[in-house]
Structure formats: structure tokens, C-alpha cells
Chains A and B, each alone.
Chain A
Amino acid sequence: DTEVTQTPKHLVMGMTNKKSLKCEQHMGHRAMYWYKQKAKKPPELMFVYSYEKLSINESVPSRFSPECPNSSLLNLHLHALQPEDSALYLCASSPRQGATANEKLFFGSGTQLSVL
């Protein structure tokens, strides 16, 4: 299995809603990532988890709350989002082969989020 699976594929939510995005991989990868991509823009890193611990937070607003319950799962909890948070949210994973590894990332197909 060489896939990163994201659910749901599409999500529409109001500004007062609470929702979660889910990401799953079964490649034994120990680093997982959340990226945000606005239309016609490059992906921007939000969070990195390494061995289920948060290693990078790119100064993301607290209305985005990541969670890594185990080595295969990565969640992004959403609360009180703004319309400008509408974007494609991409999950990725990489093997995390060592402290100095510069690894290729495997991306999921994303969740297209619309905040009304």
C-alpha cells in the first residue's frame, strides 16, 4: 500500500462548526504533514509530526488543531474557521529514516474545504 488516504474529499462548513479532516497511511512512515494550498498557489506547510510528536508548527492559528493518535493516522481539527481558510488541505507522509534524512513526501489527494 503506497497511498496516503484523506477523508472527506470535500467539506463545506459554517464558521461556527467543528469538523475534522482525517489522513491515513499504511506505509510505515513516521513523519506526517499538513499542507494548505489556496487556488493557483503552492502548498504551504502547516504542521509536521515526527514519531507522533509535533515537530514543526508554522505559526498556524489555534483554530487549526492537529492530532496524531498513532503512527498511521493524522487528524486536523477545525473550529471557528474563517472564509479565508477555504483551501485544499493536503496530508503527506515520509519515511523519517534518520535525523538527517531529506526525504521525499507522499501526498494524499486532499480535502477541498469551503468555509461559508
Chain B
Amino acid sequence: AQSVTQPDIHITVSEGASLELRCNYSYGATPYLFWYVQSPGQGLQLLLKYFSGDTLVQGIKGFEAEFKRSQSSFNLRKPSVHWSDAAEYFCAVGPPGGVAGGGNKLTFGTGTQLKVEL
């Protein structure tokens, strides 16, 4: 069965510092990979996604992620964190080739809570 691991439950960084959030997946094939961000009491917003091609993907809000097949990882990075980046970050995987019947079926990791010190 597929699974997603986010090893860091909490991370605290200073504003302006760089950030890396880890994500490892276990899947029979290379899944489709996503990073979502969630502010308290809010829904999830897609930061970026990887389906194929260039393994370094750019997203919104200055985030990027690198897919490393050999490490089964899809780590999220940002060169300089802003206080407004404080939120919960979820890595998610979706089955390659879609879902019979349509739509998608994402499996989410347990999330990493990011705190930003001013």
C-alpha cells in the first residue's frame, strides 16, 4: 500500500532563513507528488506538483521541490522564509495513471507544522 512519511512534526526557523521540509513516499511505481499548505481552520492550497519531466519544480510563494527517485523523496524548499509562511504543510501522493472512474485519490502525509521566529 502507498504511504507518505513526513519525518518532522514541527520545524521552527527564523524569518529570512532557508527552509527544507522532508517527504518520503512508498509506492509501487513513481506516484504523482504534491505539496499543500494549510493555515489554521482553512482548506488546503496547492503549492506545487510533480507529474514527470524536470525533477526540480517551481511553485507558488517562492517554493520549490526536488523529486529524487533514488531516495523516494520529494522535499520542499524555500530560500528565505517569511513570517506569513507559518502554517501546516502536507506532502501527498496520487496514483500514476489516474483513478478508475475519474477524479483523484490523494494520500496525505501527517504534516509538518512550520513556525517562523521573527
Q: Nearest-CB distance from B92 to chain A (Å)?
A: 8
**B contacts, CB < 8 Å to A:** 32, 34, 36, 41-46, 49, 51, 90, 94-106, 108-111
Return chain A residues, CB-CB under 8 Å to B36: 107
Return chain A residues, CB-CB under 8 Å to B111: 40-42
| Minimum CB distance partner of B88 in chain A | A40
- Judging by beta carbons under 8 Å apart, are A96 and B103 in contact? yes
**A contacts, CB < 8 Å to B:** 4, 6, 30-31, 33, 40-45, 48-51, 53, 55-56, 88, 90, 92, 94, 96, 98-110, 112
- Judging by beta carbons under 8 Å apart, are B102 and A90 in contact? no
Q: List 12 A-B contacts (CB under 8 A).
A: A4-B43, A31-B102, A42-B111, A43-B44, A45-B106, A50-B101, A53-B101, A56-B101, A92-B43, A94-B104, A96-B103, A101-B98
**Given A51-B102, A92-B43, A102-B51, 7 further pairs, Cβ under 8 A:** A33-B104, A43-B90, A56-B101, A96-B102, A102-B94, A102-B97, A103-B103
Return chain B residues, CB-CB under 8 Å to A104: 34, 46, 49
| Minimum CB distance partner of A30 in chain B | B102
- Judging by beta carbons under 8 Å apart, are B42 and A50 in contact? no
A56 to B108 Cα, complex, angstroms? 17
Q: Known A100-B98, A102-B51; judge A50-B103 contact (CB<8 A).
A: yes
- Judging by beta carbons under 8 Å apart, are A55 and B102 in contact? yes
- Judging by beta carbons under 8 Å apart, are B101 and A107 in contact? no
A30 to B103 Cα, complex, angstroms? 8
| Minimum CB distance partner of A31 in chain B | B103
| Minimum CB distance partner of A3 in chain B | B43
| Minimum CB distance partner of A42 in chain B | B108
Q: Known A51-B102, A94-B104; judge A110-B97 contact (CB<8 A).
A: no
A6 to B44 Cα, complex, angstroms? 13
Q: Nearest-CB distance from A1 to chain B (Å)?
A: 15
Return chain A residues, CB-CB under 8 Å to B32: 102
Return chain A residues, CB-CB under 8 Å to B109: 42
Q: Nearest-CB distance from A31 to chain B (Å)?
A: 4
Return chain A residues, CB-CB under 8 Å to B103: 31, 33, 48-50, 55-56, 94, 96, 103
